[in-house]
Amino acid sequence: MSNNIPHYWAIVPAAGQGSRMGHTRPKQYLPLHGKPILQHTLERLNLPRIKGIVVCIAANDSDWQTLTLPRTVMSVVGGVERCHSVLNGLQALQPQAQPNDWVLVHDAARPCVRPADIDKLMTQLADHPVGGLLAVPVRDTMKRVSALPPQPLPHPFWGERGVEVIETVNRENLWHALTPQMFRLEALTLALQHVLNQQETVTDEAQAMERQGYRPVLIEGHADNIKVTLPQDLNLAELYLQQQDFS
């Protein structure tokens, strides 16, 4: 029955203040090649298979109305943390979506995502019971730092008292979680509600699903799907957009 075929929806958390960017405007409205980051992101998500898009914006957002949108999208007010914004977006979808529909949650701050990778995520997980996310394997040696208690160190070569001690973390099987992260509407809604009801937060949707005992699937994407976070990310994102448009 055609009405049993799950639809695909997108939620774009865009209600952050971009504090790490250190700019007066929220980073999602800063220009890349003269176009706001959020507009680039919405253009990447404007795929035929995505039935509708919900954008979560800050209550005091004065830039949203200035965007030229590639299609009609819904907007809802976000929350204190990203996970609160995403839950508001999920609740806005409830009236028009089915519980088993897929929801792709994609950061407004990731304008370089490749439409081909979004399609890959939707296609490869279309029949999966849980869902998953775009990710890329860690390529660098990883270090964990921890502050030493102010006491003599067991060995003089381990640095001065009170400095951070690093230890190498096994990078095998370590991946960078990206977005979109794609899960079923009802399952993701319940998972996030459970986390928030515990007065806790999560930094991505997969973590909420993991806490419910689900095992999300990683689908390899591309490292140029960066989250624009710090000032130096702006030039890098412009370079990636330029490379993609000409590749």
Ligand X SMILES: Nc1ccn([C@@H]2O[C@H](COP(=O)(O)OP(=O)(O)OP(=O)(O)O)[C@@H](O)[C@H]2O)c(=O)n1
**Which residues of this chain interact with ligand X, rule CB under 6 A?**
13-20, 28, 56, 78-82, 85, 107-109, 227, 229
Which of 39, 41, 179, 189 contacts ligand LQXTBERG by CB under 6 A? 179
What residues pair up with 143 in beta bridges, in sequence order?
168
Q: What does 179 interact with, of ligand LQXTBERG, ligand X, none (CB < 5 to 8 A by kind)? A: ligand LQXTBERG
Residue with Cβ nearer ligand LQXTBERG (92 or 109): 109
Q: Give the binding-site size for ligand LQXTBERG (rule: CB under 6 A).
A: 8
Q: What does 15 interact with, of ligand X, ligand LQXTBERG, none (CB < 5 to 8 A by kind)? A: ligand X
225 interacts with ligand LQXTBERG by CB under 6 A: no
Whether cis (ω within 30° of 0) applies to the bond prior to 180 is yes
Tokens 């706001």 belong to which residue? 36
> Per the structure block, which two tokens stand in for 137?
């394997």
Q: How far is the CB of 177 from ligand LQXTBERG (least distance, A)?
A: 4
Which of 32, 82, 101, 216 contacts ligand LQXTBERG by CB under 6 A? 82
Looking at residue 182, its amino acid is M
> Per the structure block, which two tokens stand in for 177?
């979680």
Which residues are within 8 A (CB) of 180 and not within 5 positions of it... i.e. 6 or more apart? 10, 104, 105, 106, 113, 118, 121, 133, 134
Q: What does 73 interact with, of ligand X, ligand LQXTBERG, none (CB < 5 to 8 A by kind)? A: none
Q: How far is the CB of 2 from ligand LQXTBERG (least distance, A)?
A: 33
Q: What radius of gyration, in Å, describes the C-alpha atoms of the chain?
A: 20
3-state secondary structure of 85: helix
Tokens 């979808």 belong to which residue? 93
> Per the structure block, which two tokens stand in for 130?
């849980």
233 interacts with ligand LQXTBERG by CB under 6 A: no
- What is the rounded CA–CA span in Å between residue 247 and residue 242? 9
The dihedral sign for the CA sequence 101, 183, 224, 137: negative
Residue with Cβ nearer ligand X (99 or 231): 231
Q: Which residues between 104 and 133 bind ligand LQXTBERG (CB under 6 A)? A: 107
Binding region for ligand LQXTBERG (CB under 6 A) = 82, 107, 177-179, 203-204, 227
